[in-house]
């Protein structure tokens, strides 16, 4: 599928590399509260489940689907994972050459992941194909567009730290990652190589459960000084400051800014706040009134923000691009932006005086 052979010579260097240890396939569906109330874990979060639990959830989905007028199917099965969403957005929507470092199984889900990412122009020469299962995730969306994630990763193939090579990183400008304690060896090795290659490093805090349960190693990672850019949502930011007298987003932003060159807290319908050195930006959300599904909103916000940084935009402008791209993915089901919603995004960017990709000039 997307596997490379040892010593394979790659083409043009990618600008952004996404580290996603396990390729993932999302099963996205709009469901009613009665299902969400019965599955284990907190509503709105992301908690790992066993394969039998995932299969049970997916079997229940069909009896709890909420109809969508504009969608042909109320369930979408697409290549997923936070990092895949971000790099696919950067490639398909912004025209940046991006690649994925990771592993996928030699099963139907692995082929689906490869086909979807390749179709969107993502470089998969660093994706190793292994014998075994590809990770899957049930993405359950309620009537208000809020999502509850139940990934199944336990039996999935994944990339090991020992498999990383310096050649994977050559020529790239950014490494984007998602925090996960069980991938710390891989994360630390990737960060070390990236810094040796002069790259900037971005991390997303993943989920409030991950921050709550593995806060100490996260703080150690931030305190290393190797994380240039950190994205957190409001719930993750609150967990980061658990036990402190002030846990509001502004306090979390100031905390992250002690360790990172750029810090961003996304606030859902309230937009975002960001800090770079002494500069602080507060930008309202875009497209919230038409939100169908919040799946991927933070991931696509990251796409727009990083596009802005790569192109030398100001902090305010990076945030504005991020709100446009984040808003674009909420207009339909799943973490992949549909063509008509890219067009919507370009028009929003033009209206705000933001530079759009050259290939999008004719919208």
| Residue whose C-alpha is closest to residue 141's, from 206, 76, 191 | 76
Work out the average pLDDT over 181-189.
Answer: 96
**Percent of the chain whose pLDDT exceeds 70:** 90
pLDDT tier at 12 (50, 70, 90 boundaries)? low
pTM: 0.88
The reported pLDDT for the residue numbered 269 is 86
The reported pLDDT for the residue numbered 88 is 96
CB 333 within 8 A of CB 76: yes
The reported pLDDT for the residue numbered 28 is 87
The reported pLDDT for the residue numbered 31 is 83
The reported pLDDT for the residue numbered 186 is 98
pLDDT tier at 363 (50, 70, 90 boundaries)? low
The reported pLDDT for the residue numbered 121 is 96
CA distance 127 to 78: 17
Q: What residues are paired with 18 via a beta bridge?
A: 100, 176
**Which residue would you say has higher pLDDT here, 151 or 263?**
263
Q: Which residues contact 257 (CB under 8 A, 6 or more apart)?
A: 263, 275
Element (H, E) at 168: none
In this structure, of 44-48, 161-165, 201-205, 213-217, the range with the lowest mean pLDDT score is: 44-48
**Which residue would you say has higher pLDDT here, 75 or 94?**
94
pLDDT tens digit string along 327-349? 998 777 667 888 899 999 999 99
Round the average pLDDT of the chain to a whole number and report it.
89
- The CA-based angle 90-92-94, given to 5 degrees, is 50
| Residue whose C-alpha is closest to residue 298's, from 17, 152, 98, 83 | 83
């Amino acid at each position: 599928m997307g596997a490379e052979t040892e010593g394979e010579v790659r083409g043009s260097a990618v600008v952004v590399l996404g580290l996603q240890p396990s390729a993932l396939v999302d099963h996205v569906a709009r469901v009613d509260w009665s299902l969400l109330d019965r599955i284990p874990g907190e509503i709105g979060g992301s908690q790992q489940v066993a394969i039998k639990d995932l299969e049970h959830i997916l079997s229940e989905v069909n009896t709890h689907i909420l109809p969508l007028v504009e969608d042909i199917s109320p369930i979408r099965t697409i290549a997923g994972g936070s990092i895949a969403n971000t790099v696919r957005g950067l490639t398909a929507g912004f025209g940046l050459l991006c690649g994925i470092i990771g592993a996928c199984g030699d099963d139907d889900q692995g082929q689906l992941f490869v086909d979807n990412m390749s179709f969107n122009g993502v470089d998969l020469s660093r994706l190793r194909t292994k014998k075994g299962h590809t990770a899957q995730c049930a993405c359950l969306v309620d009537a208000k567009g809020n999502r509850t994630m139940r990934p199944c990763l336990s039996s999935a193939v994944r990339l090991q730290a020992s498999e990383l090579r310096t050649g994977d990183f050559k020529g790239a400008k950014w490494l984007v990652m998602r925090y996960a304690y069980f991938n710390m060896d891989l994360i630390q090795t990737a960060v070390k190589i990236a810094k040796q290659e002069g790259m900037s490093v971005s991390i997303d805090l993943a989920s409030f459960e991950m921050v709550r349960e593995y806060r100490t190693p996260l703080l150690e990672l931030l305190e290393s000084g190797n994380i240039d850019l950190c994205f957190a949502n409001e719930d993750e930011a609150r967990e980061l400051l658990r036990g402190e007298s002030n846990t509001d987003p502004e306090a979390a932003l100031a905390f992250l800014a002690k360790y990172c060159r750029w810090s961003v807290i996304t606030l859902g319908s309230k937009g975002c706040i960001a800090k770079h050195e002494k500069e602080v930006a507060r930008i309202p959300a875009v497209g919230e009134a038409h939100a169908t599904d919040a799946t991927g909103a933070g991931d696509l916000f990251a796409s727009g923000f990083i596009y802005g940084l790569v192109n030398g935009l100001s902090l305010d402008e990076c945030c504005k691009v991020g709100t446009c791209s984040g808003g674009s993915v909420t207009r339909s089901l799943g973490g992949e932006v549909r063509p008509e919603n890219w067009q919507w995004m370009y028009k929003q960017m033009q209206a705000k005086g933001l530079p759009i990709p050259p290939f999008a000039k004719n919208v």
